[in-house]
Amino acid sequence: MDALCLALGLLAGSASAQDQAGFVTGSLGDTPLELTVSPDFSDATIVGTYVDTSLLATQVDGAEGPITLILTFNGDLSDLAEVTVEITFAREMGRNWLGDKSGLSLKLDKFDAADGVIAVAGTVTGEVTGGPDQETLPVTVSFNARMKETD
């Protein structure tokens, strides 16, 4: 999984400005984040009010090196308390942080589908665990993205 996250991050990081599908801002511990969403690795499936969403974003430059974020959430949007949220931050090998519904909360500001494109915006807050020292860090990410709808 670590190698996949890093490979996807490097691929997404090479996307041109016209391929940007949105942005993620926030912080991982004390590290500020400004990541670009990759349209090639971000999508959503909708069945009624149930969604399965995956968003990949990267930050190539910065003092901490490249960062890849994978944010997934799935469940019935009519009851956000029951939606499963997972987040992975990948850096250099051995420097990954993971979080799930037990330590994260999701707030959606927008989720609109039209003509095969999903517009989604919201915030995830909570804690993630990992890195070389298996530390726990606070995380806050706000996202505003456009992604393709898949069947």
Q: What is the pLDDT of residue 60?
A: 80
* Sequence ranges of the domains in the chain: 2-150
Q: What is the pLDDT of residue 92?
A: 66
pLDDT at 7 exceeding the cut of 50: no
Higher-pLDDT residue of 106 and 93 is 106
1: DSSP letter: -
Task: State the pLDDT confidence band at 20, using cuts at 50, 70 and 90.
Answer: low
pLDDT at 18 exceeding the cut of 50: no
Question: Exposure string (b/e) for 51-67, b if CB count within 10 Å is 16 or more?
Answer: bebbbbbbbeeeebebb
- How buried is 88 (Cβ within 10 angstroms: 0-12 exposed, 13-18 middle, 19+ buried)? buried
- Model confidence pLDDT, tens digit, residues 27-78: 989 888 999 999 889 999 999 889 999 999 998 876 666 889 999 999 998 8
- Model confidence pLDDT, tens digit, residues 125-136: 999 999 888 899
Q: What distance in Å separates the CA atoms of residue 103 and residue 101, rounded to the nearest whole number?
A: 5
Whole-prediction pTM: 0.80
